[in-house]
A = this chain, B = another copy of it.
Amino acid sequence: MSNKHRSRRHRGRGQPRGKAPYQPPPKTSAIKRNTLRIIPLGGNEEVGRNSTVFEYNDTIVIVDLGLQFPEEDMPGIDYIIPNTTYLRGKETKIKGIIITHGHYDHIGGIPHLAHRLGNPPIYGTPLTLGIIRKRQDDFRDSPKPNLRVVQRDTMLRLGEFRVEFFGLSHNIPDSVGVVIRTPVGTVIHTGDFKLDPNERAENVTEMGKITQYGRQQILMLMADSTNASKPGRQLTEGEIEKNVEQIIRQAKGRLIIGTFSSLISRLSQIIKIAEGLGKKIVIEGYSMRTNLEIARELGYIRYHKDTVVPVQQMHRYPKNKLVILCTGAQGEGRAVLMRVANREHRFIRIEPGDTVLFSSSVVPGNERAVQRLTDGLYKEGAEVINYQMMDVHAGGHALQEDLKDMHRLVKPRYLMPIEGNYSFLKLHEKAAIEGGFSPKNVIVAGNGQIVECTKQGCVLTKERAVTDYVFVDGLGVGDVSHIVLRDRQQLAGDGMVVVIATIEEKTGRLVGTPEVITRGFVYVKENFKLIKQIQEKTKKILVDKDPKIPANDADLRNKIRDQIGQFLFTKTERRPLILPVIVQV
C-alpha cells in the first residue's frame, strides 16, 4: 500500500452528491399522441432501484419497482426508492406494475410506493409474489398490494398494450423477461438474466421463445447491463455445482456455507447435494429460513423433512455429516457468520476442522467488511474457501459474450442498455457495437431521460423525469433531505458542541457561566481545558455585547458559532457543528 490512497468519505465537509434539494420539478411536456415513452426512473445510473415506465396515450405500465442500497455518504439511510414524481396525477392511467423477479432491487419500492400510485395490479410469477407478500408483513400499515399471479405463458391486455413473458435464468427461480406489444412496436425488457439453457424447471432460459422474437421485428430490446463490464461468458450453475459438490463431499469436519438468502437457486442446489450425500443441514439466519419456507411451500425446493435439523440438535451428528447454511456472507454486522466469527452466536462456535465456504461474490462496498469477517474466521481457526480461490459462485447476470448472443437472437431494431452504472451501459453499448450493432441504434439513457418511439423509430429526447433520490430512513420516506444528510456528515466527521447561555431579559446581562455539552468531538474527560476555554470565549462575547441587542438575535448566535468554530478549528483542526442556545429569563 502506498500513501494517500484512501478517499476521504467521512469528513462531511463537502456537498453530498446527488441533485440539489427542493428544486421545483422540471416540467415534462405533455405526452405526444400515439407516441410511446420509455422512462427509466432508476437503475440506469446505479445497480438498484430498477423501475421503468412505459406510457402510450392513456396507458401506463411500469416494469419493476426496486430499491437501492445507500452509498457511504448517506449515513443512517436504509435505502433509496424510485422517485415517482413523473407519475403524479397520472395514477388512473397506470394499468399495472410488472415485476420480473423477487429480488429487492426489483420489488423493494412496492410497500412504499404502490399505494401512492393508486394501488394498481402488480403482476408476477408465484415465487416473486410470495416474496413480495412476505416482505409486506414488515409494513403492516401499508395498504395490501393488489397482487396478480402470472405464469410464463400468461398473456395480459393492459390498456393499449399486450404483455407476454418468457423464462430467463437468474439466481432466483421464476425470473421472467417481459414482452410489451405496443401500437408502435414490440419492446422486450429482460429484467436480470444470464443465458443458461441447461437450467431446469423454473429457472430455464426459454431459448425457443427468444429465437421466435428474432423473427418478429422487435422494436427495442432493453437488456441487463449489470455485468456488461466483464468479458466472456457467465459461469453456469452446473459448472459450480461440481465444485460445491466436491467440497461438501470431502469436508472432514463441519462445513459452514455462507451465501445470500436471496440466491434461492443456490440454496436449493446445496440442499439437494447435501441430502444426496446423506448429510444433515442446519439453516441459520431469519431471511434464509423465511426464503426457504416460501420456496418450499410453493414447491421450488424439495427435501425430506429429516434432512434439516435444528441448530440445537446438531451435536447429535458426526461433524462430517453437518452442513450449516447461513447468512452473512457480505460481512453484515448482525448476520450469522459475523456473530460466529465474534463468538457471539448462541449455538455455533468455530471448532477445529471447520471449513467456511463463501458461495457468493462480494457486493461492491462490502469488500472491507467481508475481509474483516474472513480475518475473524481465520483467527478462530477455520479454513476459508471463497470465489477468489475456486469457482464456488456463479453470478446471475449476462457477461459481454452472453449479451452479444442475446442481441443476435432477438435482432431488435434498437438496443437500450439498462440496469447498471452508467459505465456499464456504455460498455454494454461497446459490446453491442463490437457484435455488429449499428452505433446509432443503441440508446444509452441516463436515469429519467425520456425515450420516444413512433412507428418511424426511437429517439433519445433531452427531456428528463425527476429522479432525485427518495430516501427511506426508519419509518420516514422522503423526510430526510440533503440538508439533513449534510448535517449527519458533519456530525459524523467532527461531532458537535452545544453552548448554552442564560441572559436576563430586562438587563441583557449574562447569568452565570455558559454551559458546554459536546458529543463526538473530543473526549471531554481529557479536555477540560478546552471546554473551559469555550466557556470563557462565550462569556466574553456576551459580556462585550451591546446590551440593547436582544438576546435572541440571530447575529449574536452567529457570532458565537463563528468565533467558537474558528477557535476550535485553530486548536484541533476539526469543525464540529456548533449550536448556540440563548435562554432568556
Chain A residues with CB under 8 Å of chain B are: 1-12, 14, 17, 45, 47-48, 69-72, 74-77, 103-105, 108, 171-172, 226, 229, 260-263, 287, 330-334, 363-369, 371-372, 374-375, 378-379, 384, 388, 396, 421-423, 426, 446, 473-476, 479-481, 483-485, 487-496, 498, 500, 502, 511, 515, 517, 519-523, 526-527, 571-574, 577, 579, 581, 583, 585
Contact = CB atoms under 8 A, between A and B. Distances in A.
Nearest to A76: B493
A458 B10 CA distance: 43
Nearest to A102: B3
Contact of A72 (B3, B368, B374): B368
Contact of A6 (B69, B75, B261, B579): B69
A7 B364 contact: no
Contacts of A483: 523
Nearest to A382: B426
A140 B202 CA distance: 68
Contacts of A2: 103-105, 171-172, 260, 262-263, 396
Contact of A491 (B11, B47, B491): B491
Closest 6 pairs (CB-CB, A-B): A474-B573, A492-B492, A3-B104, A2-B262, A491-B491, A75-B492
A344 to B, nearest CB: 10
B481 A492 contact: no
Nearest to A328: B7
A171 B7 CA distance: 20
Contacts of A3: 103-105, 108, 260-262, 287
Contact of A488 (B9, B71, B492, B527): B492
Nearest to A376: B422
B375 A517 contact: no
B69 A105 contact: no
10 contacts: A6-B70, A14-B334, A71-B372, A72-B368, A72-B369, A76-B495, A364-B368, A379-B422, A474-B572, A484-B521
A367 to B, nearest CB: 5
Contact of A262 (B4, B69, B371): B4
Contact of A487 (B6, B77, B519): B519
A487 B492 CA distance: 8
Please state the number of chain copies in the assembly: 2
A1 B422 contact: no
B421 A371 contact: yes
A520 B487 contact: yes
A484 B364 CA distance: 28
Given A379-B446, A479-B527, A366 B6 contact: yes
A496 B493 contact: no
A484 B523 contact: yes
Interface of A is mostly: loop
A152 B99 CA distance: 66
A201 to B, nearest CB: 19
Nearest to A419: B1
B421 A375 contact: yes
A415 to B, nearest CB: 17
Pick from A6, A476, A490 the residue with the most CB of B within 10 Å: A6
A502 B585 CA distance: 8
B476 A491 contact: no
Nearest to A263: B2
A423 B369 CA distance: 13
A408 to B, nearest CB: 23
Pick from A1, A262, A421, A483 the residue with the most CB of B within 10 Å: A1
A574 B368 contact: no
Contacts of A492: 75-76, 488-489, 491-492
Nearest to A108: B3
A180 B265 CA distance: 56
Given A76-B493, A581-B500, A371 B8 contact: no
A486 B4 CA distance: 25
A527 B517 CA distance: 25
B378 A426 contact: yes
A4 B364 contact: no
Contacts of A579: 498, 517, 519
A374 to B, nearest CB: 5
A365 B372 CA distance: 12
A329 to B, nearest CB: 9
Given A7-B332, A519-B487, A76 B574 contact: yes
A10 B491 contact: no
Contacts of A481: 523
Contacts of A479: 522-523, 526-527
Given A5-B330, A368-B364, A517-B579, A494 B103 contact: no
A520 B471 CA distance: 13
A419 B523 CA distance: 31
A527 B475 CA distance: 13
A365 to B, nearest CB: 5
B105 A8 contact: no
Contact of A368 (B229, B365, B520, B526): B365
A363 B6 contact: yes
A554 to B, nearest CB: 14
Given A76-B492, A480-B522, 6 more contacts: A76-B495, A76-B574, A371-B421, A474-B572, A476-B574, A519-B577
A366 B76 contact: no
A366 B5 contact: yes
A75 B519 contact: no
